Amino acid sequence: MVDKPPAGEKKPQRLGVREIAKRVGVAPMTVSRALSNPDMVSPETRAKVLEAIEQAGFVPNRLASSMRGNGRMIGTVVPPLINSGIAEQVQGMSDECHESGYSMLLVQGEFTQEAEEKSIRNLLGWRPVGMILQSFVQSETARALLKSSGAPVVEISEIKGRKPIDMVVGVSNFETAYAMTMHLAAKGYKRIGFVSTPIHGNDRLRQRRTGYHAALTELGIKNHADMEVEVPITAQGGAEALVTLTSRHRDIDAIFFSSDTLAVGAVQECHRRRWAVPGRIAIAGYGDMDLAAQLYPPLTTVKVNRYEMGRRAVRQLLARLGGDTKVPTITSLGFEIVDRESA
């Protein structure tokens, strides 16, 4: 049974586009355009519409707008945000969308073809004007869905490994890992291990491992599969990987971790065991998270500007939507080996 308001109390009025249009003295279509396509409305009219909306406490029906296909929404699929680098990337995307008058619809997915396909199918159902996807799309069904949607697509983070669906923004993870492995070798380390999160389905990590292998081959260092470990992306995972590799190989003198989170866990485990870093073993990470420079000792790592990567992906997408035919298919961002005291 629905409770009735007390006598004399008016039921709150639910305002819609038509009511806002009447208050401003314009057509309902003008109000809709002021919200979804502001460039189609004069600045003066849009200001009046926004003022009326603020005074009335009106909340636009975004679902209806997107279903009509004229929304300003960008869809994105990202892996779990426990990875600080991914979080920075998403923040960059969000900031660029907000400043450009677009909304971002985010779906978190896993690195499996089934999860990827399901996430992309769900997002496309909202009719986004464009899509930004983490690394290369694996599922051929998902690739076909994206191509048939007609929406521009940016695959982000990795630029090598396979042909992009439309556009790609990122770095060569092969080159970043190759450079870090060579950097460690140049400092005199000869038994260099590699630790990553599970590589299956993850183009970025696969390319990092390949870069690590290529550097060892060039240096003439024999690579053993048991010099590599895959663990969850947690500090505990990094600590456990350190214990595993040092137990297998007492002469291991450096470990390259595919994430700063893992490397931090390894450094902490060294402190618990009273092992000097880098005296007993050198530790290197990837990402240059905020904690990396404050850790003791400060962490040697690969610096990639994930925040700018996210912003750049949105700008590329909006340029294509704006009719720019010269948007590059591949946009490569730089990286830096940050040499600190841990290695």
Q: Which domain holds residue 89?
A: 73-171+306-333
Please tell me whether residues 221 and 294 are part of one structural domain. yes
Going by pLDDT thresholds of 50, 70 and 90, the confidence category of residue 64 is low
Q: What percent of the chain has pLDDT over 70?
A: 88
Rounded CA-CA distance 55/57 in Å is 6
Question: What does the mean pLDDT of the chain come to?
Answer: 87
Q: Domain count for the chain, please give it.
A: 2
User: Per the domain annotation, does 41 fall within a domain?
Assistant: no
* pLDDT of residue 3 exceeding 90: no
Higher-confidence residue: 163 or 282?
282
**Contact of 193 with 229, CB cutoff 8 Å:** yes
Tokens of 289: 């998270």
- This prediction's pTM: 0.78
Does the pLDDT at position 138 exceed 90? no
pLDDT at 16 > cutoff 80: no
Residue 102 belongs to a domain with what CATH number? Answer: 3.40.50.2300
Q: For 218-250, what is each residue's pLDDT tens digit? A: 999 876 778 999 999 899 999 999 999 999 999
Number of neighbouring beta carbons within 10 Å of residue 38:
16
Please, which pLDDT band fits residue 11 given cuts at 50, 70 and 90? very low
Residues 194 and 284 in one domain: yes
Same domain, 137 and 254: no
Among 228, 232, 173, smallest CA distance to 197 is for 232
Q: What pLDDT, on the 0 to 100 scale, is given for residue 281?
A: 98
Q: Are residues 139 and 211 in the same domain?
A: no
Residue 203 has pLDDT above 80, yes or no: yes
Asked if residue 6 belongs to a domain, the reply is no
For 80, 113, 197, 237, 270, the CA distances from 232, given in Å and listed in that order, are 12, 19, 5, 5, 19
Whether 188 and 86 map to the same domain: the answer is no
**Judgement on whether residues 147 and 96 belong to the same structural domain of the protein:** yes
Q: What is the model's pLDDT at position 262?
A: 96
Looking at the fold, whether 185 and 294 belong to one and the same domain comes out as yes
Residues 255 and 314 in one domain: no
| Residue 32: inside a domain | no
Residue 10 is predicted with a pLDDT of: 46
Give the range with max mean pLDDT: 6-20, 22-36, 123-137, 308-322.
Answer: 308-322
Distance between CA atoms of residues 35 and 32, nearest Å = 5
Whether 93 maps to a domain, the answer reads: yes
Identify whether the C-beta of residue 169 lies closer than 8 Å to the C-beta of residue 132: no
Report whether pLDDT(205) > 80: yes
**Inside any domain, residue 221:** yes
Mean pLDDT of 324-329: 92
Instruction: Say which residue, 43 or 54, is predicted with more confidence.
Output: 43
Answer whether residue 338 is part of any domain. Answer: no
Residue 6 binned pLDDT confidence (cut-offs 50, 70, 90): low
pLDDT computed for residue 84 by the predictor: 67
Q: Which two tokens stand for residue 91?
A: 């923040």
Instruction: Give the lowest-confidence range in 129-143, 164-178, 186-200.
Output: 129-143
For residues 185 and 260, membership in a common domain is answered with yes
Min mean pLDDT across 88-97, 115-124, 134-143 is at 134-143
Quick one: pLDDT at residue 320?
94
Is 166 within a domain?
yes
Give which of 178, 230, 176 is closest to 202, Cα–Cα. Answer: 230
Residue 53 lies in a domain: no
Phi and psi, residue 109, nearest 5° = -135, 170
Q: Which residues contact 238 (CB under 8 A, 6 or more apart)?
A: 195, 231, 257, 259, 261, 262, 263, 264, 265, 266, 269
Please check the confidence at residue 119 and state whether its pLDDT lies above 50. yes
Same domain as 116, residue 155: yes
Q: Check whether residue 195 and residue 282 sit in a common domain.
A: yes
User: pLDDT value at position 234?
Assistant: 92
Give CA–CA dist 137/87, Å, rounded. Answer: 20
Average pLDDT over residues 200-212: 89
Residues 271 and 322 in one domain: no
